[in-house]
Amino acid sequence: MKPQVVFVLGGPGAGKGTQCSKIVEGFNYTHLSAGDLLRGERARDGSEFGQLIDSYIKDGKIVPVKITINLLSKAMEETMQKDEKKFRFLIDGFPRNEDNLQGWKDAMDGKADVKFVLFFDCSNEVCIDRCLERGKSSGRTDDNRESLEKRIQTYLLSTRPIIEQYEKLGKVRTVDASRSVDEVFADVKAILEKEG
Ligand code: ADP
Ligand code: C5P
Ligand code: MG
């Protein structure tokens, strides 16, 4: 069975991870966060990319796709090898720019189906407030005002155009992410029940 993929996009702090965790509880999806995979690689003993990833994350820049696609495809393969029925994936925080998208196409065209993009839409102010709040306990090196300004710029300049491309293909399902976790999830649930 070919992997069936939902890309999950939205600004930093829009609630992608929170909603993906809720989806996994009720639907047969595996959640792969590109950011989490990169942070894992950064922390891995002997990683040749640790320093590069660290500086990109602090600067809110998008890591070269060669690194990210390797992590994603490895995680997908491992999941499907363990259980062949686990071929549905939420890929959270990817593709975030043109390089990400091209890298996905080069590696995955014909090998995985992108069903749609789940887009968590909310204002930059809400995104920043949520990340600063998360920063009180997340230990993340990028949940601070300085990094957040750069992350928002990257989101506006690089990620929004990717969402617009999928929009033109009729492949974006937009959710108003500024509401409470449960209100957002009610919409997410309806979308997934409809799309399968
Ligand atoms: P993302 O993965 O998009 O960066 P997270 O899911 O990590 O976002 O959420 C960012 C922060 O905002 C977390 O501290 C989370 O608990 C909180 N959060 C997530 N969704 C909501 C929401 N709908 N309302 C208020 N806070 C939220
Ligand atoms: O999605 P998340 O907020 O966890 O991403 C944190 C950071 O990880 C991003 O700001 C970026 O520096 C890096 N990242 C990346 N490429 C991705 C996803 C995340 O470089 N596709
Ligand atoms: Mg996240």
CATH code for the domain of 10: 3.40.50.300
Residue 68 lies in a domain: yes
Tokens of 158: 């690089």
Ligand nearest to the CA of 142: 2
Q: pLDDT tens digits, residue range 89-137?
A: 999 999 999 999 999 999 999 999 999 999 999 999 999 999 999 999 9
Q: Is 42 annotated as a binding residue?
A: no
Residue 169 CA to residue 166 CA, distance in Å, equals 5
For residue 35 and ligand 1, the question of a CB distance below 6 A is answered with no
Residue 29 CA to residue 88 CA, distance in Å, equals 5
For residue 31 and ligand 2, the question of a CB distance below 6 A is answered with no
Q: Which amino acid is at 124?
A: N
Residue 196 lies in a domain: no
Residue 24 lies in a domain: yes
What is the pLDDT at residue 89?
Answer: 98
Q: Output the DSSP codes for 132-170.
A: HHHHHHH--TT-SHHHHHHHHHHIIIIIHHHHHHHHHTT
Residue 70 lies in a domain: yes
Host domain of residue 59: 4-189
Residue 194 lies in a domain: no
* pLDDT category of residue 1 using cuts at 50, 70 and 90: confident
Q: pLDDT tens digits, residue range 48-63?
A: 999 999 999 999 999 9
For residue 57 and ligand 2, the question of a CB distance below 6 A is answered with yes
Angle among Cα 112, 116, 118 to the nearest 5 degrees reads: 125
* pLDDT category of residue 196 using cuts at 50, 70 and 90: confident
Residue 106 lies in a domain: yes
For residue 49 and ligand 2, the question of a CB distance below 6 A is answered with no
Residue 162 lies in a domain: yes
Q: How many structural domains does the chain have?
A: 1
H helix count then E strand count, the chain = 9, 5
Judge whether 60 and 66 are in contact, CB under 8 Å.
no
With the most atoms of ligand 1 within 8 angstroms of its CB, the residue from 90, 130, 137, 180 to mutate is 130
Give the dihedral sign, CA 66/55/141/144. Answer: negative
Judge whether 119 and 9 are in contact, CB under 8 Å.
yes
Residue 21 lies in a domain: yes
For residue 61 and ligand 2, the question of a CB distance below 6 A is answered with yes
Q: Measuring from atom 19 of ligand 1, which residue has the nearest CA? A: 15
In angstroms and rounded to an integer, the radius of gyration of the C-alpha atoms of the chain is 16
Neighbours of 110 (CB within 10 A): 7
Q: What is the dihedral of CA 144, 148, 150, 151, to 10 degrees?
A: 130
End-to-end CA distance of the chain: 16
With the most atoms of ligand 2 within 8 angstroms of its CB, the residue from 21, 36, 62 to mutate is 62
For residue 15 and ligand 1, the question of a CB distance below 6 A is answered with yes
